[in-house]
């Protein structure tokens, strides 16, 4: 229900904002050679001269049929073009998540269990620095170190067909490393907070007072209890960081949704902008919905609701 409402509001918002952008595809296409006659012909060809509500209704009806329209610049269906870009974005985000998630969870648990000690202080300070540093700054620093100074990794991503995994791997190391650093900082901090909250709860303190071994308290009581709130928190964190992936893809010229969105905005390719934003919103709601379903399955108190 809430996912449907969210996607509906996003569709209205993105359509209105793209309509309010200065200029349109016709002016971007002709540039300085534009004349009133040429602009009128181009706008009539692509339906840009129709009323806003009519264009929105046509777009929404097409979306329900799986038709996102045709890209002005690419001259191909938006759905098929975005499908290819989605695969490369999932490769980048999935690779970063596979590295960042277990690494950050382990470090977050260590920080929570060593609260107030040197280990916790070091991890907390490191995570705060990572959280306060924008992703494009982290990426720029990595480019300066590994591409400019050491010259061991490419600064820009070049993904071509027919290349082996070993040939493609150096091209994605820096963007994956950038996202891993950013995600680890946020997730570590969140896991630490959850572990501290659960560790100070009455049932955990009671188990400690009864003389239960520390390892057993952690494995039997602390971790399972911290898992449920951590799932939703992790989902919200990952969903919110999707926007950061857009910026990182643009920085490394990575051919994913983010780079496509930036170029489409500059080209005033409205169908691609609308399709990309709606797809990102769908990913956001799907992550949150999946987290809610997993939490309901794992929490016996919610199974009967």
Q: What is the pLDDT of residues 224-268, one digit of tens each?
A: 766 666 676 667 666 666 666 778 888 888 888 877 777 787 778
Buried b (16+ CB within 10 A) or exposed e, 121-131: eebbebbeebe
Task: Give domain limits for the chain.
Answer: 2-64, 78-303
Beta bridge partners of 70: 77
pLDDT for res 167:
64
Tokens of 84: 């290819």
Residue 119: the pLDDT is 93
Q: What is the pLDDT of residue 122?
A: 94
Mean pLDDT computed over every residue of the chain: 79
The CA distances from residue 278 to 46, 260, 283, in Å, are 21, 13, 9
Q: What is the pTM of this model?
A: 0.75
Higher pLDDT, 56 or 299: 56
CATH class of 78-303: mainly alpha
Q: What is the pLDDT of residue 126?
A: 92
Task: Report, as an integer, the average pLDDT of 185-193.
Answer: 86
Indicate whether 125 pLDDT > 90: yes
b or e along 155-193 (b: 16 or more beta carbons within 10 Å of the residue's beta carbon)?
Answer: bebeeeeeeeeeeeeebbbbbbbbbbbbbbbbbbbbbbb
User: Which residues have a Cβ under 8 Å from the Cβ of 213 and sit 6 or more positions away?
Assistant: none
Lowest mean pLDDT among 37-46, 94-103, 126-135: 37-46
Mean pLDDT on 133-159: 87
């Amino acid at each position: 229900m809430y996912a449907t409402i969210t996607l509906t509001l996003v569709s209205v918002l993105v359509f209105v904002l793209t309509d309010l952008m200065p200029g349109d595809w016709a002016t971007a296409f002709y540039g300085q050679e534009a004349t009133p006659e040429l602009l009128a012909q181009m706008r009539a060809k692509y339906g840009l001269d129709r009323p806003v509500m009519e264009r929105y209704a046509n777009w929404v009806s097409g979306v329900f049929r799986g038709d996102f329209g045709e890209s002005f610049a690419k001259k191909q269906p938006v759905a098929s073009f975005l499908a290819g870009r989605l695969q490369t974005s999932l490769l980048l985000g999935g690779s970063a998540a596979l590295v960042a998630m277990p690494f950050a969870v382990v470090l977050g648990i260590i920080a929570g269990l060593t609260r107030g000690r040197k280990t916790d202080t070091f991890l907390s300070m490191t995570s705060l620095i990572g959280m306060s540093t924008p992703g494009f700054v982290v990426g720029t620093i990595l480019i300066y170190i590994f591409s400019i100074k050491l010259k061991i990794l490419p600064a820009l991503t070049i993904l071509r067909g027919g290349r082996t995994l070993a040939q493609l791997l150096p091209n994605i190391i820096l963007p994956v490393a950038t996202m891993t650093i950013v995600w680890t900082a946020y997730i570590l901090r969140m896991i630490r907070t959850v572990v501290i909250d659960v560790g100070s709860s009455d049932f955990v303190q009671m188990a400690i007072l009864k003389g239960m071994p520390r390892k057993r308290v952690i494995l039997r009581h602390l971790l399972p209890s911290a898992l449920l709130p951590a799932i939703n928190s992790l989902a919200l964190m990952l969903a919110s960081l999707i926007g950061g992936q857009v910026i990182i893809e643009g920085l490394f010229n990575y051919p994913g949704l983010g780079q496509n969105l930036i170029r489409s905005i500059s080209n005033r390719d409205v169908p691609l902008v609308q399709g990309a934003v709606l797809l990102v919103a769908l990913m956001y709601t799907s992550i949150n919905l999946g987290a809610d379903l997993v939490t309901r399955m794992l929490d016996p108190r919610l199974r009967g609701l």
